[in-house]
Amino acid sequence: MPFSPATLETTHVDLAVIGFGKAGKTLAAKFAKTGKKVVLIEQDPAMFGGTCINIGCVPTKTLLHDATASHSHQFSDDFYQQAMSRKRTLREKMNAANLAMMEKPGVLVVVAHAEFIDERKLKLTAGTDELEVTADQIIINTGATPVMTPITGLGDNPLLDPRVLTSTELIDRENLPRRLAVIGAGYIALELANISAHFGSSVTILNRNESILPHESEQTRATVEKILSDAGITFMHQTWVEKVAAPADPTAPLTIHTNHASFDTDALLIAIGRKPNIDGLNLAAAGIEVKNGAIFTDEFLRTTARNIWAVGDVNGGLQHTYISFDDHRIVADQLLHGKDLSGRSLLNRGAVPTTTFLTPPLSRVGLTAEKAKELAAENNWEVAIANREVSSLATMPRAKAVNDTRGFMEIVVDKKSEQILGATLFCIDSQELINLITLAMDHQLPYTSLRDRIYTHPATTEALNELLAEI
Tell me which residues are annotated as active site: 457
The distance between the two most distant Cα atoms of the chain, rounded to a whole number of Å, is: 68
Residues forming a β-bridge with 409: 388, 425
- Integer Cα distance of 70 and 351 in angstroms: 36
Q: Cβ atoms within 10 A of the Cβ of 144, count?
A: 20
Query: H-helix or E-strand containing 67?
Result: helix 57-69
Neighbours of 453 (CB within 10 A): 14
Identify whether 105 is preceded by a cis peptide bond (ω within 30 of 0).
no
Q: Which residues contact 137 (CB under 8 A, 6 or more apart)?
A: 14, 15, 16, 307, 308, 309, 335
Nearest-angstrom CA–CA distance, 170 and 104: 34
Rounded to an integer, what distance in angstroms lies between the CA atom of residue 115 and that of residue 283? Answer: 8
Please check whether residue 450 is in contact with residue 437, taking contact to mean a CB–CB distance below 8 angstroms.
yes
DSSP assignment letter at 103: H
CA 373 to chain centre: 29
Q: What are phi and psi of 125, to 5 degrees?
A: -130, 130
User: Per DSSP, which regions of 232-303 are E strands?
Assistant: 234-237, 241-245, 254-258, 262-265, 267-270, 274-276, 290-291, 294-295
Give the DSSP per-residue string, 293-328. Answer: TEE---TT-B-SSTTEEE-GGGGTS---HHHHHHHH
Q: In 344-397, which residue ranges form alpha helices assigned H by DSSP?
A: 369-379
d(CA 271, CA 181): 10
Peptide bond into 458 cis (omega under 30): yes
Distance CA 170, CA 177 (A): 9
253 DSSP assignment: P
